[in-house]
Chains A and B, each alone.
Chain A
Amino acid sequence: MSLGILGKKVGITQVFTEDGLALPVTVIEAGPCVVLQKKLTATDKYSAIQVGFGECKSKNVPKPLLKHFEKVGSAAVSFVKEMRLADDNEVNKFEVGQKITCDLFKKGDKVDVTGTSKGKGYAGVMKLHNFGGAKGSHGTHEFKRHGGAIGQHTDPARVFKGKKMPGRMGNEKVTIVNLEVVDVQPEKNLILVKGAVPGKKSSFVVIKPSKHSK
């Protein structure tokens, strides 16, 4: 229920603090985001603003969406998200077409960063669910990374739902909570957060004020 900003993961590096610590930071190119639409209780039964970020060619955008952008007078954007706000008063503080920039945040703030994690493909149980695997020796063969038995016997004569088995790993929505903002550079639209952020370089992320900090 709070305003955040959309951004693009640029890469990771380190910065030094005055007392000699080397902090691992993720550089995020955040904003400027365009307000595309206001959603009000009267019309949509909830309060939110729709924002867009990320330049792209207009030929790569579906035509209905392109018309939606044209109505606002915005260039085509590749990443559109809704931000739920507390009430209509909050929404009416914004104008359609207004830009939201990264000076929303300041140094020392705590943020939650949401993104899509890197896809790992079809992964076994050891990598996917942290299973222990089998013994490395003492007669074990062709069974070292297997998951073991998956059920009992005639009773219940089936495998229980939710049994952890191999499968696709990654490529899902992940939120890393309580990351510290190390630096904000509004002139370059950069936000530096301490620690890692989901996704590969140039993947889209949503930065919001942390729900979890005191």
Chain B
Amino acid sequence: MSLDLVKIVDEQNKRQDLPELRPGLTVRVHFKVKEGQRERTQIFEGTIISVKGKGKNVKTITVRRVSFNVGVERIIPVNSKVIEKIEIVRAGKVRRAKLYYLRKTTSKKSKLKEIRSY
């Protein structure tokens, strides 16, 4: 019974406005960045290679992109308030929950087959 109260607090802190996030999606994550007094939006685009903490307040996604031949990954707590929105760009067909194998692939192999109907 007492644990349910933690769930209540968790629910209050969860964001309801985000799309369903799953591995293989290419997403554009809009961050709110504060520079002194000014606030601007920074966009990070990449493929979701892992989703952790499903159903929890601490849910994170790992977004990977290759920029200037260097792989960059960002672990993003999706319930954080600095995220303005998350757009889905493309859906890739995947058969795994964690796409860590993409780290070892290059060029053509690292491209996921698209699901058109998504």
A residues with CB within 8 A of B: 8, 10-20, 22, 25, 27, 29, 188, 190, 192, 201-202
Contact = CB atoms under 8 A, between A and B. Distances in A.
Contact of A190 (B5, B58, B80): B5
Given A15-B9, A16-B13, A22-B77, 20 more contacts: A11-B2, A11-B3, A11-B5, A12-B6, A13-B57, A14-B13, A14-B57, A14-B58, A15-B57, A16-B81, A17-B81, A19-B34, A20-B32, A20-B81, A25-B9, A27-B9, A29-B2, A190-B5, A201-B3, A202-B2
Contacts of B79: 16
A25 B81 CA distance: 17
A190 B9 contact: yes
Contacts of B8: 188, 190
A10 B13 contact: no
B87 interface: no
Given A16-B13, A19-B34, A20-B80, A29 B5 contact: yes
A14 to B, nearest CB: 6
Contacts of A15: 9, 13, 57
Contacts, number: 53
A17 B82 CA distance: 9
Contacts of B81: 16-20
Interface in B46-93: 57-58, 77, 79-82
B10 interface: yes
Interface in B1-58: 2-3, 5-6, 8-10, 13, 32, 34, 57-58
A202 B3 CA distance: 9
25 contacts: A8-B2, A10-B3, A10-B5, A11-B2, A11-B6, A12-B6, A13-B9, A13-B58, A14-B58, A15-B9, A15-B13, A16-B13, A16-B77, A16-B79, A16-B81, A17-B81, A18-B81, A20-B80, A20-B81, A22-B77, A22-B80, A188-B5, A188-B8, A201-B2, A202-B2
